[in-house]
Structure 1
Amino acid sequence: MADEIERKFLVKEGWQPQHVGVRIAQGYLLSAPERIVRVRIKGDKGFLTIKGRNEGIRRLEFEYEIPCADAEALLKLCEQPLIEKTRYLEEVGGFTWEVDVFAGDNAGLRVAEIELPAEDTPFEKPEWTGQEVSGDARYYNSSLIAHPYCLWKTRS
């Protein structure tokens, strides 16, 4: 069993990546509140991920590398549209932040995530992070399929 403890923040205008990003295409075979089953191609690798219900900023997560050809075939079975984004890694205060810059129906959305070893772990918040959206389900990737960012009337 693996716990994922994650905090999410919007990324302020003006942030510029420090490194080359990796393209990600991901889809959901199942996106229920109790569990999600995600297929992802990240660069040239495929992954199958199962996540449990969020309990605050904690949830169960199981991720397995699968052949890229299998991931490509599974993406065709996923709910549409797929999530398209580029992920950039930023090192700040001993932690790796993942900054996702979305494309397609979610273009304009930029979210930074940090995984922590415990819910009360202190961390340095970079100056390019804005509002915390950890508990806001609108920002879950699985929610962005049914309610893409391009259709939001008011944006945070």
Structure 2
Amino acid sequence: MGIEIERKFLVQGEAWRAAEAQSERLCQAYLSRDPARTVRVRIAGDQAWLTIKGQALGKFQGESSGISRAEFEYPIPLADAQQLLALADGPAIDKIRHRIRHAGMTWEVDEFLGDNAGLVVAEIELASEGQSFEAPPWLGAEVSSDARYFNSALSRLPYRHWTR
């Protein structure tokens, strides 16, 4: 079983765009958005994956601060992924993922499109919940535990429909 330890932050301003980045467009949708177990299909170019995420199990259960989750990810044929998108529970999420190196760590900056346009978040995967890292200057407030920013939630209530 894989464990994903991830922290998520809002991005401030446009300074992040000056960083050298590898970028790709992603389309993803959810077959299940149950918070205890999400099932996602994702397409990036001509590659596709099926991902199952759930509450951390085993030694992590009960010890998590909410940033650790069980994660299982498998490559699947592109044609299968395209058919699975049609079975999705709600609309697909469309975004451009920019991978930016900062202080020896890789940040994934997701620039959302469509109904989630205007939202830009940065995620960092860690080896442990207590791992320290240097925050880039464009990093804003942490939203790791704010369920509104989960991709599965954004497919149900897109960012443009939020009351701010």
Instruction: Give the shorter-chain TM-score range.
Output: over 0.9
Question: 1:108: Cα distance to partner?
Answer: 0.4
1:97 alignment partner, one of 90, 107, 114: 107
Determine helix, strand or coil for the equivalent of 1:78.
Answer: coil
How many residue pairs match? The answer is: 154
**C-alpha distance in 1, partners of 2:105/2:6?**
12
- 1:61 matches 2:71: yes
Instruction: Using the aligned pairs only, state the percent identity.
Output: 55
Normalised TM-score (structure 2): 0.90
The one-letter code matched in structure 1 to 2:34 is A
5+ unaligned residues in a row in structure 2: which ranges? 57-63
2:31 alignment partner, one of 29, 32, 42: 29
User: Residues 1-150 of structure 1: matches in 2 within 5 Å?
Assistant: 1-14=1-14, 15-16=16-17, 18-53=20-55, 55=64, 56-150=66-160
Large movers: runs of 4+ above 3 Å: none
Question: 1:80: Cα distance to partner?
Answer: 2.3
The one-letter code matched in structure 2 to 1:40 is R
The one-letter code matched in structure 1 to 2:54 is G
Q: For the Cα contact (< 8 Å) 2:52–2:72, is it kept in 1? A: yes
Q: For the Cα contact (< 8 Å) 2:21–2:101, is it kept in 1? A: no
1:8-42 deviations in Å (ceiling 9; x for gaps):
00011113152341010000000001100000001
Q: For the Cα contact (< 8 Å) 2:11–2:120, is it kept in 1? A: yes
5+ unaligned residues in a row in structure 1: which ranges? none
